[in-house]
Amino acid sequence: MLSKSNARFFFLGGTIVTFAIFLGLSWRTLSVDVPRQTNAQDITPEVVRGKHLWESNNCMGCHTIFGEGAYYAPELTKVMERREEAYVKLLLTSKEPWAPRGRKMVAYGFSDQEAADLIAFLNWCGKADLNGFPAKPKYQHLNTNK
């Protein structure tokens, strides 16, 4: 029958082994794989400023990027493929609240430079290799909206 000290050994041993594996894999992921898959060399000062704007305005509070965030507004990883750059710029610099289909977005009224930074960030995001996310819709051809 399992004794308390066996149980403690299972807990401590299991934790140490899995955590060691986790640390090893994390090291490999961060040092080799992520820089390659995300084109780390393309992270320009503009992209960094864009990321800062993305965070300081909590864009993730409505949108998702890489599928992470909130589910109130569209996923933006591939937004620069879906939309014209001029459209995105207009939306970001608009001083009037944007409300596609009645759902309002805060009117941030960004400057041209800020809009360019955010677009650089979104362009960088769109080029990252996300293992196939977002998947291409299977029945896109049946959809009359496009």
Partner 1 sequence: MRYQSQKVAYWFFALSMLLLSLQIIYGFIMGFAHLGYDNLHDFIPFNTARAVHTNLLVVWLLSGFMGAAYYIIPEEAEQELVSVKLAYVQLISLAVVGVVAIVGYHFNYWEGRKFLEIPRPLDFLVVVNVLLFLGLILATLFKGKKRTTTSLVLSMGLLFAALLYLPGMIWFDNQTMDSFFRWWVVHLWVEGVWELIMGGILAFLLIKITGVDREVIEKWLYVIVGLTFISGILGTGHHYYYIGTPKYWLMIGGIFSALEPLAFLGMALFAIAMYRKGEKRHPNKVALNWTLGTAIVSFVGAGLLGVAHTIPQVNLYTHGTLVTAMHGHLAFWGAYAMINLAIISYTMPNLTGRKLYDTGNGTLAFWLSNIGMLGMTVAFGVAGVAQVYLERIVGMEFGVVQQEISVHFAILIVCATMFTVGICVYIYEFVKYGRPSDEAIYLTN
Q: Report the residue count for the chain.
A: 146
Minimum separation from the CB atom of position 121 to partner 1 (A): 8
CB of residue 51 to partner 1, shortest distance in Å: 6
Minimum distance of partner 1 from residue 84's CB (angstroms): 16
Reduced to 3 states, what is the DSSP secondary structure of residue 27?
Answer: helix
Beta-strand ranges (E) seen in 9-140 are: 64-65, 68-69
Nearer to partner 1, 1 or 86 (CB): 1
- Can you tell me the distance from the alpha carbon of 125 to that of 31, in angstroms, rounded to the nearest whole number? 19
User: What are the start-end ranges of the E strands in the chain?
Assistant: 64-65, 68-69
Q: What's the closest the beta carbon of residue 120 comes to partner 1, in angstroms?
A: 12
- Give the residue with the Cβ less far from partner 1, 56 or 86: 56
Rounded CA separation 58/64 (Å)? 11
DSSP 87: H
What phi and psi values does residue 42 have, to the nearest 5 degrees?
-90, 5
Q: How far is the CB of 86 from partner 1 (least distance, A)?
A: 19
